Structure 1
Amino acid sequence: MENIKHKLTVLAHIAEEFNHKDVTWAIGASLLLYFKGITSEFHDIDIMIAEDDVETVKEILLSLGNIIQSKPNSKYKTKCFLEFHVDGVEIDTMAGFGIIYQDKEYYFPLKKEDIKDFTEVQGIKIPLQSIEEWRIYYELMERDEKVKMIDSYL
């Protein structure tokens, strides 16, 4: 619980900076599932960002922590994937999220108008991607356990 509290404090700090700079962003993956009460844990913070905001996000996160060299994964075709460590927490940012499934490329750019759900952490507004979107992503990523978790929730 202490660890989760720390991660959420880091998230609130990042969110405040992103919101202040008008970045188009939203939480996805396991942290999204955590916020929806689908899972009780998450390891890192996955942030989807608009492709136009990559430089701003990079600048903000570099001012808060450091960038990590990540290994490319052939299952993903994300236009920009950047991994950071901020106060001991792994932050993965993705712009132009892409998944390769059965030799076909699926492209899911984040658009401001697609963000319809929000939560609050320490009084800071946190935009969330939709659970339905993530069910599709997890299905394409062949993450069956996550698909089952979402199906039970829905």
Structure 2
Amino acid sequence: MIETLKEIVATIDERKIVWGVGGSLLLSFHGLVQHPNDIDLLVDEEDAFWFNKKLEVLGTPIEANALRPFRTRYFAKFIVGGNNVDSMGGFAIEHQEGVYRLPFDENSVVGSFDGIPLSSLEDWYILYMFIPNRQDKAKLIEEHFKKNGVKHPWLLARALNQPLPHGIREKIERLLR
């Protein structure tokens, strides 16, 4: 997976765009899971079309169906270097209080691994609370925060500006205390 990511970095480096690795691969970089499922990439919505065109050159597009509750504007799937790669620009997910839209910008990329940009655990903590059957991953991140602290509290704080279910709002507020 790392070699595939390095190939992606080399291909898109000609244009400075905001993107970062997320999902289970991000969790593996933080030692929270042993075996990542695939490569999830978040990209600034404005650059998503261009980004996906570059991924098409590197690999093979596969059918991508964005089903409810997902409302992501640009969702594409590829096979690159034998790895499943999901590209998401304008990530959004519907819930009982409305739609949560991930504000993904330059502040969302909080680190790198060998030149590979990494999105934040804080953003993925929120996303995993919404994604069906992924609350276990949210719990892993929450335990990590309790043990090591929240490194990017402003990312959690900005989520509070959106409609959130009461239980999720409470969890975020508790972590920010």
TM-score normalised by the shorter chain: which range applies?
0.7 to 0.9
Alignment length, in residue pairs? 144
TM-score scaled by length of structure 2: 0.76
Tell me the secondary structure at the aligned position of residue 73 of structure 1.
coil
Query: CA offset at residue 37 of structure 1?
Result: 0.8
> Which residue identity does 1:147 align to in structure 2?
A
Query: CA offset at residue 103 of structure 1?
Result: 5.2
Q: What residue in structure 2 maps to residue 4 of structure 1? A: none
List runs of 5+ in structure 1 lacking aligned partners: 1-6
Q: What residue in structure 2 maps to residue 107 of structure 1? A: 101
> Which residue identity does 1:85 align to in structure 2?
I
Q: 1:135 aligns with which of 116, 121, 125?
A: 125
Query: CA offset at residue 22 of structure 1?
Result: 1.6
TM-score scaled by length of structure 1: 0.86
Task: Determine if the alignment matches structure 1 residue 45 to structure 2 residue 48.
Answer: no
Q: What residue in structure 1 maps to residue 4 of structure 2? A: 10
Task: Determine if the alignment matches structure 1 residue 23 to structure 2 residue 17.
Answer: yes
The answer to which structure has the higher strand fraction is 1
Query: CA offset at residue 17 of structure 1?
Result: 1.6
> Which residue identity does 2:63 align to in structure 1?
Q
Q: Which runs of 4+ in 1 moved over 4 A?
A: none
Q: Distance in 1 between matches of 2:57 and 2:50?
A: 11
Query: CA offset at residue 60 of structure 1?
Result: 1.2
Q: Distance in 2 between matches of 1:19 and 1:72?
A: 28
Larger relative contact order, structure 1 or 2 (CA cutoff 8 Å, min sep 6): 1
- Whether the aligned pair in 1 keeps the contact of 2:17 and 2:47 (CA below 8 Å) is yes
List runs of 5+ in structure 2 lacking aligned partners: 146-177
Percent identity, please.
31
Q: Distance in 2 between matches of 1:110 and 1:74?
A: 21
Tell me the secondary structure at the aligned position of residue 13 of structure 2.
helix
Query: CA offset at residue 139 of structure 1?
Result: 1.0
